Amino acid sequence: MKPIQVGLLGIGTVGSGVFHVLKRNQAEIQRRAGRGIEIAMVADLDVARAQSIVGDGVRVVNDARQVIANPDIDIVVELIGGYGIAKALVMEAIDAGKHVVTANKALLAVHGTEIFAAAQAKGVMVAFEAAVAGGIPIIKALREGLTANQIQWVAGIINGTTNFILSEMRDKGLDFDVVLKEAQRLGYAEADPTFDIEGVDAAHKATIMSAIAFGIPVQFDKAHVEGITKLEAADIRYAEQLGYRIKLLGITKRAQEGIELRVHPCLVPAKRLIANVEGAMNAVVVQGDAVGTTLYYGKGAGSEPTASAVIADLVDVTRLHTADPLNRVPHLAFQPASMSDLPVLPMSEVVTSYYLRLRVADEAGVLAKVTGLLAEAGISIDAVLQREAEEGSRQTDLIILTHSTREGTMNDAIAQMQGLPTVLAPIVRIRKEELA
């Protein structure tokens, strides 16, 4: 059978990984897919560079629309990124009846509903394993491996840059700014690291997972997004003393009244496997009502790990593209006609437990006042850590772990505590998840 013809839009880090892995493992992949998979055409603005990667045998153009218009191309792989031209090209490819494989989490988290509807109408597939957690086949696990389950929650370390920074902060006791510079020097963080360190990248991925876990539309605009830029070494140290690690988690959870969708730093018990995921590695924990807890771990970024996911999609599409569209796996795990209208909850409605750090005056009655306010708010306390004031200082840190409460309730309680004259600095609040 004639090899499947693939057109690549953009051949940067991931694109060249796709090209090299497809070439190196050609025989192995054909033995699995039942036919060859070939990159037949590449579009990239830097034609010379692209040509030097793929060699003379592959046609390189600088206009992506030529790839889409080529009737020999079966599958278009979009690796341009962003919401702009990438969106137009994906929509045009669908319109031209091409199957699409993309690693573009930003695009899908924001415009997924429109894109999947167009693909559905046209009877083509849009596959996106590479969009979440790089090489880890988490989309497939959620969408196909765990179909028996009511998914209860998904929580993941889904941004390698921030996990690298947090690991270094803990290992070396350094503050965020110092470690960020080091991460940039080592290539773990980009020159403009905003999307990573502010949690936006993780929120894109969490948004996609929320859709396929619960059968809701992708709703990035409803996600609560909080990064790690305000984390201090002191909090990582206190958390450690209490038996916790701080991780940036993407969390989506089925609650009574709706779906939680949030990215923020989070205390996790140190004994959980996910708490021990270090450096730039990713891991996702999925809780299902039948299967219990499962965890998926691997490289969340990089040329070949991401290529591994792109190519897995190419093999899937190759296997399924001649099948009746009704027999395919639905894009968002649930049949388009069976989507749920469960709302994404505002953050004030989220129920979780908390780590609080209060800088307080070292004098009698402070603890009583603070815990009195929490009690009034109906927030119960799990643990308290109060250090003796440092020699010569009249201030000290008061650490409180609470049991679960509504975020709105906690916000009010924090405002009240902040008003106490003995509370000397802005209260630090980090959410805590037991993940059990």
Stretch that binds a copy of itself, among 244-252, 292-300, 379-387, 394-402 (CB under 8 A): 292-300
Stretch that binds a copy of itself, among 28-36, 233-241, 370-378, 419-427 (CB under 8 A): 28-36
Tell me which residue has tokens 């009244």: 257
Is 31 a residue that touches a copy of itself (CB under 8 A)?
yes
Tell me which residue has tokens 């278009």: 76
Torsional class of 173: left (φ above 0), alpha (ψ -120 to 50), beta (otherwise):
left
User: Torsions phi, psi of 295, nearest 5?
Assistant: -135, 145
Is 298 a residue that touches a copy of itself (CB under 8 A)?
yes
User: Which segments within 145-254 are labelled E, that is strand?
Assistant: 151-157, 224-225, 244-254
Shortest distance, CB of residue 123 to a copy of itself, whole angstroms?
14
Is 310 a residue that touches a copy of itself (CB under 8 A)?
yes
Q: Which x/- pattern over 186-225 shows residues binding a copy of itself (rule: CB under 8 A)?
A: -----------------------------x----------
Beta-sheet pairing, 224-225 with 292-299 = unpaired
Selecting among 98, 205, 222, 247, the annotated active-site residue is 205
> Is 433 part of any known ligand binding site?
no
Contacts 24+ apart (CB under 8 A), 271-279: 271/243, 272/435, 272/436, 273/297, 274/155, 274/157, 274/247, 274/435, 275/244, 275/245, 275/247, 276/245, 277/157, 277/163, 277/247, 278/163, 278/167, 279/160, 279/163, 279/164, 279/167
> Is 9 part of any known ligand binding site?
yes
For residues 123 and 431, give the distance between their C-alpha atoms in angstroms, rounded to a whole number.
Answer: 43
Structure tokens at 426: 């802005």
Q: Which is nearer to a copy of itself, 21 or 358 (CB)?
A: 21
Structure tokens at 50: 């692209």
Q: Can you tell me which of 177, 192, 257, 327 binds a copy of itself, judged by CB under 8 A?
A: 327
Is 144 a residue that touches a copy of itself (CB under 8 A)?
yes
The torsion angle over the Cα atoms of residues 274, 277, 280 and 282, rounded to 10 degrees, is -30
CA Rg, the chain, in Å? 24
Q: Can you tell me which of 323, 383, 424, 425 binds a copy of itself, judged by CB under 8 A?
A: 323
Q: Which of residues 331-350 bind a copy of itself (CB under 8 A)?
A: 333-335, 338, 340
Structure tokens at 245: 């690690």
User: Torsions phi, psi of 102, nearest 5?
Assistant: -140, 150
Is 147 a residue that touches a copy of itself (CB under 8 A)?
yes
User: Torsions phi, psi of 121, nearest 5?
Assistant: -65, -35
Q: Which is nearer to a copy of itself, 294 or 371 (CB)?
A: 294
Beta-sheet pairing, 259-269 with 244-254 = antiparallel
Is 367 a residue that touches a copy of itself (CB under 8 A)?
no
Q: Can you tell me which of 187, 221, 257, 322 binds a copy of itself, judged by CB under 8 A?
A: 322
Is 330 a residue that touches a copy of itself (CB under 8 A)?
yes
Is 300 a residue that touches a copy of itself (CB under 8 A)?
no
Q: Is 205 known to be catalytic?
A: yes
> Is 68 part of any known ligand binding site?
no
Stretch that binds a copy of itself, among 58-66, 218-226, 241-249, 283-291 (CB under 8 A): 283-291
Is 23 a residue that touches a copy of itself (CB under 8 A)?
no
User: Torsions phi, psi of 251, nearest 5?
Assistant: -125, 135
Is 277 a residue that touches a copy of itself (CB under 8 A)?
yes
Please enumerate, by residue number, every residue annotated as part of a binding site for NADPH: 105
Annotated binding residues for L-homoserine, written as ranges, equal 190
As annotated, the binding site includes 9-16, 105, 190
Binding site for a copy of itself (CB under 8 A): 17, 21-22, 24-25, 28-34, 129, 135-137, 140-141, 144-150, 215, 273, 276-277, 288-299, 304-305, 307-312, 315-316, 319-324, 326-330, 333-335, 338, 340
Residues with a catalytic annotation lie at 205
